[in-house]
Protein backbone atom coordinates (compact mmCIF):
# COMPACT_ATOMS: atom_id res chain seq x y z
CA UNK A 1 0.00 0.00 0.00
CA UNK A 2 1.11 3.57 -0.68
CA UNK A 3 2.31 5.49 2.39
CA UNK A 4 0.04 8.38 3.24
CA UNK A 5 2.86 10.94 2.96
CA UNK A 6 3.45 9.75 -0.60
CA UNK A 7 -0.08 10.58 -1.72
CA UNK A 8 -0.02 13.58 -3.99
CA UNK A 9 -2.88 16.00 -4.32
CA UNK A 10 -5.80 15.37 -6.65
CA UNK A 11 -4.78 18.35 -8.79
CA UNK A 12 -1.23 17.07 -9.12
CA UNK A 13 -2.25 13.60 -10.26
CA UNK A 14 -4.88 15.01 -12.61
CA UNK A 15 -2.23 17.27 -14.15
CA UNK A 16 0.00 14.28 -14.70
CA UNK A 17 -2.75 12.33 -16.45
CA UNK A 18 -3.67 15.32 -18.60
CA UNK A 19 -0.07 15.75 -19.77
CA UNK A 20 0.23 12.03 -20.38
CA UNK A 21 -2.87 12.10 -22.59
CA UNK A 22 -1.66 15.18 -24.46
CA UNK A 23 1.02 12.97 -26.00
CA UNK A 24 -1.60 11.07 -27.98
CA UNK A 25 -2.48 12.58 -31.32
CA UNK A 26 -4.87 9.86 -32.37
CA UNK A 27 -7.98 8.79 -30.53
CA UNK A 28 -7.01 5.19 -31.27
CA UNK A 29 -3.80 5.56 -29.24
CA UNK A 30 -5.84 6.98 -26.39
CA UNK A 31 -8.18 4.01 -26.44
CA UNK A 32 -5.27 1.60 -26.75
CA UNK A 33 -3.78 3.14 -23.63
CA UNK A 34 -7.11 2.92 -21.77
CA UNK A 35 -7.51 -0.70 -22.85
CA UNK A 36 -4.00 -1.40 -21.54
CA UNK A 37 -4.87 0.21 -18.19
CA UNK A 38 -8.10 -1.78 -18.11
CA UNK A 39 -6.35 -5.06 -18.68
CA UNK A 40 -3.81 -4.29 -15.95
CA UNK A 41 -6.36 -3.18 -13.35
CA UNK A 42 -6.53 -5.60 -10.49
CA UNK A 43 -9.92 -7.27 -10.16
CA UNK A 44 -11.86 -6.89 -6.95
CA UNK A 45 -12.87 -9.98 -4.96
CA UNK A 46 -15.65 -11.98 -6.55
CA UNK A 47 -17.46 -11.75 -3.21
CA UNK A 48 -17.55 -7.95 -3.59
CA UNK A 49 -19.31 -8.20 -6.94
CA UNK A 50 -22.71 -8.00 -5.33
CA UNK A 51 -25.88 -6.26 -6.43
CA UNK A 52 -25.38 -3.77 -3.62
CA UNK A 53 -22.04 -2.70 -5.07
CA UNK A 54 -23.31 -2.62 -8.64
CA UNK A 55 -23.68 0.84 -10.12
CA UNK A 56 -27.05 1.23 -11.83
CA UNK A 57 -27.58 2.78 -15.22
CA UNK A 58 -24.53 1.34 -16.93
CA UNK A 59 -24.52 -0.76 -20.05
CA UNK A 60 -21.41 -2.51 -18.80
CA UNK A 61 -21.56 -3.73 -15.23
CA UNK A 62 -19.49 -1.70 -12.78
CA UNK A 63 -18.91 -2.60 -9.14
CA UNK A 64 -17.48 -0.07 -6.71
CA UNK A 65 -16.39 -0.66 -3.12
CA UNK A 66 -15.00 1.89 -0.69
CA UNK A 67 -13.08 1.71 2.57
CA UNK A 68 -12.44 4.59 4.97
CA UNK A 69 -9.00 4.60 6.55
CA UNK A 70 -8.67 7.46 9.01
CA UNK A 71 -10.49 9.98 6.81
CA UNK A 72 -8.88 8.84 3.59
CA UNK A 73 -10.93 6.80 1.16
CA UNK A 74 -9.72 3.77 -0.75
CA UNK A 75 -11.71 2.51 -3.67
CA UNK A 76 -11.81 -0.77 -5.47
CA UNK A 77 -13.72 -1.12 -8.73
CA UNK A 78 -14.26 -3.55 -11.53
CA UNK A 79 -16.20 -3.89 -14.75
CA UNK A 80 -16.88 -6.51 -17.36
CA UNK A 81 -15.96 -4.02 -20.10
CA UNK A 82 -12.29 -3.27 -20.57
CA UNK A 83 -12.54 0.40 -21.69
CA UNK A 84 -14.70 1.09 -18.65
CA UNK A 85 -12.01 -0.64 -16.56
CA UNK A 86 -9.41 1.67 -18.09
CA UNK A 87 -11.43 4.72 -17.07
CA UNK A 88 -11.91 3.20 -13.62
CA UNK A 89 -8.16 2.78 -13.38
CA UNK A 90 -7.69 6.52 -14.03
CA UNK A 91 -10.31 7.44 -11.43
CA UNK A 92 -8.70 5.17 -8.82
CA UNK A 93 -5.29 6.68 -9.59
CA UNK A 94 -6.66 10.13 -8.81
CA UNK A 95 -8.98 9.45 -5.90
CA UNK A 96 -7.45 6.58 -3.97
CA UNK A 97 -6.16 7.64 -0.59
CA UNK A 98 -7.62 11.15 -0.85
CA UNK A 99 -9.44 12.90 1.98
CA UNK A 100 -13.17 12.96 1.54
CA UNK A 101 -13.28 16.75 1.67
CA UNK A 102 -10.89 16.89 -1.27
CA UNK A 103 -12.99 14.38 -3.19
CA UNK A 104 -16.14 16.38 -2.52
CA UNK A 105 -14.41 19.55 -3.70
CA UNK A 106 -13.02 17.92 -6.84
CA UNK A 107 -14.77 18.77 -10.12
CA UNK A 108 -13.61 15.73 -12.13
CA UNK A 109 -12.81 18.12 -14.98
CA UNK A 110 -9.69 16.20 -15.98
CA UNK A 111 -11.95 13.71 -17.77
CA UNK A 112 -12.92 16.49 -20.11
CA UNK A 113 -9.33 17.67 -20.45
CA UNK A 114 -8.15 14.28 -21.62
CA UNK A 115 -10.82 14.24 -24.30
CA UNK A 116 -13.13 11.65 -22.81
CA UNK A 117 -15.96 14.09 -22.38
CA UNK A 118 -18.27 12.12 -24.61
CA UNK A 119 -18.02 9.38 -22.03
CA UNK A 120 -19.36 11.71 -19.38
CA UNK A 121 -22.63 12.75 -20.95
CA UNK A 122 -25.49 11.56 -18.75
CA UNK A 123 -27.17 9.94 -21.72
CA UNK A 124 -24.23 7.64 -22.24
CA UNK A 125 -24.94 4.32 -20.69
CA UNK A 126 -21.34 3.43 -19.94
CA UNK A 127 -21.58 4.37 -16.31
CA UNK A 128 -18.73 6.83 -15.95
CA UNK A 129 -21.03 9.53 -14.69
CA UNK A 130 -22.75 7.13 -12.30
CA UNK A 131 -19.34 6.02 -11.07
CA UNK A 132 -18.23 9.58 -10.35
CA UNK A 133 -21.53 10.25 -8.57
CA UNK A 134 -21.00 7.14 -6.48
CA UNK A 135 -17.43 8.16 -5.53
CA UNK A 136 -18.76 11.54 -4.39
CA UNK A 137 -21.65 9.87 -2.58
CA UNK A 138 -19.20 7.72 -0.60
CA UNK A 139 -17.17 10.81 0.32
CA UNK A 140 -20.30 12.67 1.44
CA UNK A 141 -21.56 9.68 3.41
CA UNK A 142 -18.28 9.29 5.31
CA UNK A 143 -18.14 13.01 6.03
CA UNK A 144 -21.68 12.94 7.38
CA UNK A 145 -20.97 9.85 9.44
CA UNK A 146 -17.97 11.54 11.06
CA UNK A 147 -19.97 14.68 11.79
CA UNK A 148 -22.53 12.58 13.64
CA UNK A 149 -19.91 10.91 15.81
Partner 1 sequence: MLFRPKTKVCLVLLQVMEIIEQIREEFPALHQQVWGKPLIYLDNAATTQKHCKVLELQERMSSFTNANIHRALHKLSADATDLYEAGREVVRLFLGAESREEIIFTSGATAALNLIATSLVRSYMTAGDKVLICEAEHHSNIVPWQLACEAFGRSVEVLQVEENGEISLERLSELLEADHRIRILAVSHISNVLGIINPVAEIVRIAHSKGVLVVIDGAQGVVHDKVSVKEMNCDFYVFSGHKIYAPTGIGVLYGKRSLLESMPPYMGGGDMVDSVSFSGTTYAPLPLKFEAGTPNFVAAACFKPALEFAAAVRDDVQVQEHEKRIVATMVEELQRIKGLKICGLPKDLSLKIPIFSLSIEGVHPSDIAQMLDKMGIAVRSGLMCAEPIVSRFSERGLLRVSFAPYNTIFECETFISKLKLVINMLL
Strands of the sheet containing 62-69, edge to edge, are: 62-69, 72-79, 98-99
Q: Is 27 in the site for partner 1 (CB under 8 A)?
A: yes
Please identify, using beta-carbon distances, which residue of 26 and 42 lies nearer to partner 1. 26
Of these, 49, 61, 113, 143, which contacts partner 1 (CB under 8 A)?
A: 61
Q: Which of 125, 137, 140, 141 binds partner 1 (CB under 8 A)?
A: 125
24 binds partner 1 (CB under 8 A): no
Residues 52/57/60/65 CA torsion (nearest 10 deg): -30
Q: How far is the CB of 48 from partner 1 (least distance, A)?
A: 18
Per DSSP, the residues of 40-95 read HSPPPPGGG--TTTBPTT-SS-EEEEEEEETTEEEEEEEESSHHHHHHHHHHHHHH
Catalytic residue at 58?
Answer: yes
Listed ranges 44-52, 55-63, 65-73, 128-136: which one lies at the site for partner 1 (CB under 8 A):
55-63
Task: Give the N- to C-terminal CA distance of the chain in Å, as an integer.
Answer: 28
For residue 120, state whether it binds partner 1 (rule: CB under 8 A).
no
CB of 53 vs partner 1, minimal distance in Å: 17
Number of residues in contact with partner 1 under rule CB under 8 A: 15
Which H/E stretch holds residue 107?
A: none
| Inter-residue contact 127 to 58 (CB < 8 Å) | yes
Q: Which of 10, 34, 41, 58 is catalytic?
A: 58
Positions that interact with partner 1 (CB under 8 A)? 27-28, 31-32, 35, 59-61, 80-84, 125-126
Amino acid sequence: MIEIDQIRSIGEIEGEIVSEFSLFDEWLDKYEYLIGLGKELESINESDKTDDNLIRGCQSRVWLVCRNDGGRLWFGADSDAVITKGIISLLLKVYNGQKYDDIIASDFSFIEKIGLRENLSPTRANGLLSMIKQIKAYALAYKEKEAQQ
